[in-house]
Amino acid sequence: MNVPDPASAAAPSPRPVAGTDEPILRQLLDEYLQFYANRDPRLPERFSENFSGFTGGGDFLVKDRAEWVAITRLDFAQVKEALRLELKDVSLQALSDTVALATSFFRIHLPIQDSVLSRETARLVLVFRKEGAEWKIAHSSISIPYHGTREGEVYPLQDLAERNRFLEEQVGERTRQLSEANANLHRANAELAAEIAERERTARQLQELLASRTRELRAATAAALRAGADEEDRIGRELHDTLCPELIGLARQAETLADRAEAPPQLHDQLRALAALAGTSARRARSLSHLLARPDLVHATFVDLLQAQLTYLEETFRLTCELTLDDSFPALPPEASDHLIRIVREAVTNAARHAAARRVWVDCVRQDGQAIVSISNDGRLLPPPETLNAGIGLRQMRMRADLLEAALVLRPGQTDGAVVELTFPVAAADRSTPPSP
């Protein structure tokens, strides 16, 4: 049965009489249970100053009222909501006019979902003692028994043995499951390791293949550029050795014919004009031959060759080139110097032909382990990248930059013109381009 509400929690405590006052004892017990179930803070007032007891989960004996009050308050703080106490049995004894004993069995139903404590039977023993005009609780002991004890046993040995067997079976089953899981994990790890190794092997093969193809591409690019340079050198020599002398000879013959007295005046003027035109063409052919001819990379320094190229470009395109070269700029091997000079020459030529530039600045600096070559001009502003057509000159610049392991950037200037910027690691300056295939 459930605990009934007391008639009045504040009513004077009755006085039991030994052997005759069971209803009064029951009222004392019901009041205690009701106070405890409702977590009533007035319950500690019912405890005697001379108190002893123990809790259901404790392993120590309480011999002090203040300690028991603290335990009760902790109990109420942990579970603040009301409990439901389901009484199973009660025994009441009036031992004397001043001492009474109440023993009860009940189940505790917490205000939370619980499938353990609510199945157990709690045993409560209360000793009431008359102190002055009121009855106080002088002793309280509660226990929750272990239900494994069987008939004919004092200790639950059979139940413990069965539980041990059950636990061993559970441990065995869990061990088997864990072994299977470990075996599966080992297999999965082995498969994963094999897959990772295969992917790494494939990645290495791809990297090696890419490196091989890159080397082949660079070798082919170097060979193609070298062949183009050979052809330019041949054309330059042909211009210098054949066309230039022929044009100079033509100019001199025209001047000789113009100087003859028997020549008509009109023809005289035409021959003079022809001589001037032939001379101009000869000078242009000679400048072009110098531009096309391969520079002497063995007997001249990079800065001298670069300055000579810029001088020829100034004369050819009637512009001004300013060269700035840091003392710390790295020395370049011959083929690297050739590529860099040709990139500068192409950038200056494009600025003169396509942007109508009148001034060009070439800056060669070293910064943070990088060699930087910047070619800027004051010509027309570079068009947007999406409208820029990459001609053969720009493509060859990029091919040569790749052979230098350099990054080539083409961007508009701050106010006008364009900037070609070449950046490559200083270590790459010590390596020349791939050998001829």
pLDDT category, 12, cuts 50, 70, 90? very low
Domain membership flag for residue 224: no
26 near 90, Cβ under 8 Å? yes
Last residue of a domain, one of 124, 143, 162: 143
Worst-scoring range by mean pLDDT, 99-108, 116-125, 256-265? 256-265
Most confident residue range from 20-24, 107-111, 287-291: 107-111
Question: Which range in 81-85, 142-146, 249-253 is most confidently predicted, on average pLDDT?
Answer: 81-85
- Residue 198 clears pLDDT 50, i.e. is over it: yes
pLDDT in tens, 292-339: 665 555 557 888 888 988 998 898 889 999 999 998 898 888 888 888
Residue 273 counted as domain residue: no
* Total-model pTM: 0.46
Q: How confident is the model at residue 268 (pLDDT cuts 50, 70, 90)?
A: confident
Q: What is the CATH number of the domain that holds 86?
A: 3.10.450.50
Asked if residue 318 belongs to a domain, the reply is yes
Residue 279 belongs to a domain? no
Domain boundary among the residues 110, 143, 176 is at: 143
Would you say residue 208 lies in a domain? no
Q: Assign 8 a pLDDT band (cuts: 50, 70, 90).
A: very low
Residue 204: inside a domain:
no
Domain end among 107, 122, 143: 143
Asked whether residue 189 is assigned to any structural domain, the reply reads no
Q: Does 11 score more than 60 pLDDT? A: no
**How many structural domains is the chain composed of?**
2
Expressed as residue numbers, the domain containing 309 is: 300-437
Encode pLDDT of 381-421 as tens digits. 887 766 667 677 888 889 889 888 899 999 888 888 899 99
Q: What are the Cα distances from residue 389, in Å, to 31, 310, 385, 392, 414?
A: 101, 25, 8, 10, 21
Residue 417 maps to which CATH number? Answer: 3.30.565.10
199 vs 157 pLDDT, higher one: 199
* Strand-strand pairing, 359-367 and 320-325: parallel
- Per-residue pLDDT tens for 326-372? 988 988 888 888 889 989 999 999 999 888 999 999 999 998 889 99
pLDDT at 433: 47
Q: Is the pLDDT of residue 114 over 60?
A: yes
Determine, yes or no, domain membership for 8: no
